[in-house]
Structure 1
Amino acid sequence: MSTFDTDAQATLAENQDLAAAARAAVLFTLPLYEMSRMRSATSARRDSAGHFAGGSPESTCRWANQWVHTREPLGPRNREVVTPNNDTLYSSTWLDLAHGPLLLDVPSMPGRYFVLGLLDFYTNPFAYIGTRTTGNDGEVFLLHGPDWDGTVPDGVQTIVCPTDSTWLIGRILVDGADDVAQVVALQDRLKLRPLPGSGARVPSLIDAGMQPGDRPGDTTLFVRVVNRALAECPLPAEAADDLAYIAICGIGPGLDADALSHQQHGAIERALTEALDELSGALPSALGGGWALPVAVSDSFGTRYRERAQVALNYIGALGIEEAMYVIADRDAADAPLDGRMQYLLHFLPEGLPQTDAFWSITMYDKTTRMLVENPLQRYSIGDRTQGLSYDSDGGLRIAISAEEPVDPALRSNWLPAPSAGFYLALRLYVPRAPHLSLTFAYPPVERQ
């Protein structure tokens, strides 16, 4: 074998190693990029006095430790978060715990479902405050980062956050337009304040490092954002070896995105393109009838990096399955992609309605944008609280799904409008019961008519 052949084989092996490391790096860090983007998109741009973070609307700075509330259920015009729900009002804040702990005051919410879910910067839903876990009585909670070691005030529950930058997403159930004002009043009673004597700031000025519209196609920006996040967020113990492996492609804490070699840049660019295409693809119909469970996390994804990346790209902000299950259909029972130009039927038998301790709903989304769909009824979901549904004489429920109004008069009140294009459905189960958690529940097939 010539020296040229030996060198060529060594170069090929090196390129293959680099490509494999780039793929591993992208799958590992894509959630960090998406969390950085969501921090930019959903953090407050103005403080309570109206001052822009960073002094201008063009700045990448944001206000952390400040609530951002939605004051009505989300609709098609809301574009910040993919696959949003239409059942609750959101109350969101990005916590900056790097300077000290925060106290969180939660009001009493008798008889009303709510949850304040906490996600670390790796998208792990590690803790909950709310109906299921802490009850509906008003309480005070101490939230602190991984390195704080201090005295907790009496009568205060403590939650340790694995990363100093933590996303707190609150959902408070709203029952129709007449109920919105009551929920808004509850939102206004959610308070964040510094632990006395600590250095915590409310609000806290942070630099998100990017704008909401920055998608992960700019390779240099991607590497810059994730390298910064890796430096700021303690690495989960199980990921130490993975971090050492992906460093060969220029991704890691303290590495310079502007110093990428041509080979590193190309490998990451290809890995990003391939991963985004792969992770946006069709879901396996693992539950039968067109249904799948893309989010099957409890409190941590662990080393399931591909699953974590797919959830971050498509369902970021999702809660763990004990709190909420998101059962998705983007194909029908015959495994054909769902298309609003066709007509579909979901038939829940009387003994086959979803079983939850809170509520359930089925929401319609455009397949391309992953957003809610404009329609003449302004109906974006159907569930156990939807007024005016027509149930079968035996107690079953049939839901018609199409872009055009159903011809059958009996189904018109049960119509979930679809776009005249590809779509998907999300069946949300808040506090699901055992048949769902054990994956033994029989979901009705999405049948094309």
Structure 2
Amino acid sequence: MTPQAQAMASEAARIAQDCDDAVVQSLPLFEMMRMRAATTARRHPAFGFAAPNPGSTVRWVNQFTHTHRRLGPEDREVVSPNNDTVYSNAWLDLSEGPVIIETPDMGDRYWTLGLLDAWTNPFAYVGRRTTGGRPQRTLVHGPGWRGAVPADVTLTIAAPGDDVWLIGRHLVEDDGEDAARVRESQSLMRLVRPDGSDAAMAVDTWIDGRDTRIPSADLYLSVLDAALRRNPPLPGEHLAWPPAQADLAASLPAVYDRLRTGNHPRDLGGGWAIPVVVRTHWGDDYLARARIARNFIGALGIEEAMYPTAEVDAQGAPLDGSRRYELRFAPGKGPKVGAFWSLTMYRRSDCLFVANPIHRYSIGDRTPGLRHDADGSLAIRLQAEDPGPGVNWLPAPKDEPFYIVLRLYQPHADHLELWFDYPPVRPV
């Protein structure tokens, strides 16, 4: 190869790498805009449809939507769902002024509203851990607002951009009376302007949120150009934008595929790993931020909840329903949390719950009849067959691989600082 050809090849490689870097850095913003389109409603209960055309990308923002029952094996829309809480969801648009989040008396129930900026940083919370269960009025404003805060506002939150994803979780103890109580609380949650009027706005979300394919270069460019005007990179972050469309067309599939297959959870020992370790901001770890946006978008900070995951047993062999296992917490060595913990079972094939005869999809410190041994240890059996009476049983799928997730709500410092000794899953 001639020196000139070598120089040209080197320059082409540099341009390709720069474009890949730009995609890694900008992908969270695109994926958040995709989620905004996917999780906002076409219809408002009072104002009707945001647009008459069913194919329109116009949706309502500054409006809550809620789920009212815990998910089960018949639900297939969300992978690795929890079986502990129901959800409240809203997207805030702060471009026309602040929005007030009104929440009723929640008592001592675990609940949280996590606020994520458009770059997936979980920058603020309202809820049991941070603000308690009393009735609250929380004002959220964008970076350009300088108005007066109403006297009855209990908390003021400054958002770094005009778009904020509000993800709420409410603990539900059963699917009957307690679920009805939570539903009533959800019905009292409102998003209003400082003058008390409904804050709902109809906005163009720019994209079909149902399309989960790798985006085309022209769509990616158009969505990013619009989103960046509303949500610029935070101070200290420089984004080289825009790349050439031809370079972007080559980078997008390569980067998306690499992020899907190259996720690297943090090893916790004993066969356990944690896929998400963030508190309030990803900092300059753009690669980790992009991996989470690609694989676990919407993750809250670890001070709110942690999700250690085990896919292998004590010998490093993949967990499989053809075998029987035990997870044993020694006396005084169980999960340390300020709210509650649960252990959830999923099939590896589709990352969904395992249907079983006792309709148990998770087990934890709130499970009725949970039995400790005489020495105070806690043993949980993971297997397809019923182990008999007096055994804490989390049913596994028969003759197929599975994995488990240990959900820790309001984890103590032992978990947060990664000191906790997670016991391995041992074959029986």
Same fold (TM over 0.5): yes
Shift in Å at residue 331 of structure 1? 2.7
Shift in Å at residue 79 of structure 1? 4.3
Correspondence 1:106 to 2:106? no
Shift in Å at residue 441 of structure 1? 1.2
Would the alpha carbon gap of residues 228 and 337 (structure 1) be closer, same or farther in structure 2, given more than 3 Å must change? farther
Other structure's SS at 1:382 match: strand
What amino acid maps onto 1:238 in structure 2? G
Provide structure 2 residue ranges, at least 5 long, that are not aligned to the other structure. Answer: none
Shift in Å at residue 411 of structure 1? 6.9
Other structure's SS at 1:231 match: helix
Correspondence 1:270 to 2:254? yes
Correspondence 1:175 to 2:155? no
Task: State the alpha-carbon separation in 2 of the partners of residues 15 and 276 from structure 1.
Answer: 25
Would the alpha carbon gap of residues 420 and 34 (structure 1) be closer, same or farther in structure 2, given more than 3 Å must change? farther
Q: CA RMSD in A?
A: 2.3
Provide structure 1 residue ranges, at least 5 long, that are not aligned to the other structure. Answer: 251-259
Shift in Å at residue 72 of structure 1? 0.7
Would the alpha carbon gap of residues 50 and 192 (structure 1) be closer, same or farther in structure 2, given more than 3 Å must change? closer
Aligned partners of 2:140 and 2:157 also within 8 Å: yes
Task: State the alpha-carbon separation in 2 of the partners of residues 419 and 116 from structure 1.
Answer: 37
Shift in Å at residue 327 of structure 1? 1.3
The match for 1:88 is 85
Aligned partners of 1:62 and 1:208 also within 8 Å: yes
Other structure's SS at 1:105 match: strand
The match for 2:413 is 434
Please say which of residues 83-92 and 55-64 is displaced more in the overlay: 55-64
Correspondence 1:349 to 2:321? no
Within the candidate set 25, 28, 47, 2:25 is matched to: 28
Task: State the alpha-carbon separation in 2 of the partners of residues 424 and 230 from structure 1.
Answer: 38
The match for 1:184 is 183
Task: State the alpha-carbon separation in 2 of the partners of residues 417 and 237 from structure 1.
Answer: 48
Other structure's SS at 2:118 match: coil
1:116-168 CA-to-partner distances (Å, cap 9, x unmatched) read 11111111110011111111111211111111111111131211111211111
The match for 1:161 is 159
Other structure's SS at 2:292 match: helix
Task: State the alpha-carbon separation in 1 of the partners of residues 29 and 148 from structure 2.
Answer: 31
1:366-392 CA-to-partner distances (Å, cap 9, x unmatched) read 335444343343322111111133332
1:43-62 CA-to-partner distances (Å, cap 9, x unmatched) read 11211047333223332222
Correspondence 1:425 to 2:404? yes
Task: State the alpha-carbon separation in 1 of the partners of residues 222 and 319 from structure 2.
Answer: 38
What amino acid maps onto 1:215 in structure 2? T
Task: State the alpha-carbon separation in 2 of the partners of residues 152 and 419 from structure 1.
Answer: 58
Task: State the alpha-carbon separation in 2 of the partners of residues 430 and 126 from structure 1.
Answer: 18
What amino acid maps onto 1:431 in structure 2? Q
Task: State the alpha-carbon separation in 1 of the partners of residues 291 and 150 from structure 2.
Answer: 40
Aligned partners of 2:380 and 2:391 also within 8 Å: no
Correspondence 1:362 to 2:343? yes
Within the candidate set 272, 284, 288, 1:303 is matched to: 284
Shift in Å at residue 235 of structure 1? 1.0
The match for 2:130 is 133
Task: State the alpha-carbon separation in 2 of the partners of residues 106 and 438 from structure 1.
Answer: 32
Aligned partners of 1:389 and 1:414 also within 8 Å: no
Would the alpha carbon gap of residues 186 and 270 (structure 1) be closer, same or farther in structure 2, given more than 3 Å must change? same
The match for 1:257 is none
Size of the aligned set, in residue pairs, is 425
Shift in Å at residue 214 of structure 1? 1.8
1:173-208 CA-to-partner distances (Å, cap 9, x unmatched) read 1111231111111111111111229xx963211222
Task: State the alpha-carbon separation in 2 of the partners of residues 11 and 377 from structure 1.
Answer: 65
Would the alpha carbon gap of residues 163 and 423 (structure 1) be closer, same or farther in structure 2, given more than 3 Å must change? farther
User: Normalising by structure 2, what TM-score?
Assistant: 0.92
1:334-356 CA-to-partner distances (Å, cap 9, x unmatched) read 33333334333211122111111
Shift in Å at residue 422 of structure 1? 3.7
The match for 1:255 is none
Task: State the alpha-carbon separation in 2 of the partners of residues 119 and 149 from structure 1.
Answer: 21
Correspondence 1:405 to 2:389? no
Would the alpha carbon gap of residues 424 and 62 (structure 1) be closer, same or farther in structure 2, given more than 3 Å must change? farther
The match for 1:312 is 293
Aligned partners of 2:113 and 2:169 also within 8 Å: yes
Would the alpha carbon gap of residues 17 and 331 (structure 1) be closer, same or farther in structure 2, given more than 3 Å must change? farther
Other structure's SS at 1:372 match: coil
Shift in Å at residue 87 of structure 1? 0.8
Task: State the alpha-carbon separation in 1 of the partners of residues 403 and 47 from structure 2.
Answer: 39
Task: State the alpha-carbon separation in 1 of the partners of residues 322 and 105 from structure 2.
Answer: 46
User: Normalising by structure 1, what TM-score?
Assistant: 0.87
Would the alpha carbon gap of residues 25 and 329 (structure 1) be closer, same or farther in structure 2, given more than 3 Å must change? farther
